[in-house]
Homo-oligomer: A and B are copies of this chain.
Amino acid sequence: MTATLDQRIRGDISARIHSGEWPPGTRIPYETELAAHYGCARATVSKAMETLARAGLIERRRKAGSFVARPHSQSAVLEVPDLASVAAAKGETYRWQRTRRAALAAGEAPDIAGIAGAALAVEGVHFADDLPFAIEERWISLAAVPGCADEDFADTAPGTWLLGHVPWTHARHRIRAVAASAAEARRLAIRPGTACLSLERWTWRARDYVTYVRQLFPGDRHDLIADFDPS
């Protein structure tokens, strides 16, 4: 119940902002004033303000003070969970079936993967309750992930395996809507031309591409949720 002073200050201020009592542009009391009001050190107020500023709720300007921010662009946190966890959360049985595994020499990975050296190509299908709900094509850089050469990925989807075996990385996602090709439709047990969600992810670590993956979901079997919660 009794939160920290930091949280209390943040809560009080964000409550006034959300309630509309302090509309965008309003000047928030100076840090010294707030410190006096709460009977605490200015550093404590400053920490609360920094958190609010990082969340985008306020803007701080030297000499001028801190102000309630105007909502700028819509940004949201997109969670792209492991597909096995998605199925588990819905109470569905999950299964991965590998359809291809090939070691490629340097230059054989497609350009879009960005992998110049030797690579491992893996393809397969994700099933939920024995219904295919995503196909996956992936290329993994052998230079960046040497350990994957010993994995056959017959039972474990490479995404799940990589999560535990690759150090921290940067990633970029591209989300598109595409029509399923004949080959894709066959593997997903849908009609060719069906609208599908295409999710591509490039993963790299310090300028080296680690893996590129493309997942294709039938439009009616999967969607993505992104939340934006200033807090």
Contacts and interface: CB of A to CB of B under 8 A. Distances in A.
Interface of A: 17-20, 23-24, 57, 68-82, 85, 163-164, 166-179, 193-198, 201, 205-206, 217, 219, 223-230
Contact of A73 (B80, B226, B230): B80
A75 B224 CA distance: 12
12 contacts: A24-B168, A71-B163, A74-B81, A75-B77, A75-B79, A77-B78, A173-B226, A175-B197, A177-B196, A177-B198, A193-B195, A195-B196
A206 B19 contact: yes
B227 A177 contact: no
Contacts of A195: 177-179, 193-196, 219
Nearest to A230: B168
Nearest to A50: B47
Given A167-B24, A171-B227, A230-B168, A80 B71 contact: no
A72 B170 CA distance: 13
A175 B17 CA distance: 29
Nearest to A20: B167
A71 B196 contact: no
Contacts of A198: 177
Interface pairs A-B: 8 shortest CB-CB: A177-B219, A195-B195, A74-B80, A177-B177, A177-B197, A78-B78, A173-B226, A175-B224
B217 A177 contact: yes
A229 B170 CA distance: 5
B177 A68 contact: no
Nearest to A179: B195
Nearest to A73: B81
Contacts of A81: 73-74
A201 to B, nearest CB: 7
A163 B70 contact: yes
Contact of A226 (B164, B167, B172, B228): B172
Contacts of A223: 174-176
Contact of A172 (B17, B80, B170, B227): B227
Given A163-B71, A167-B18, A168-B24, A174 B228 contact: no
Contacts of A228: 170-173
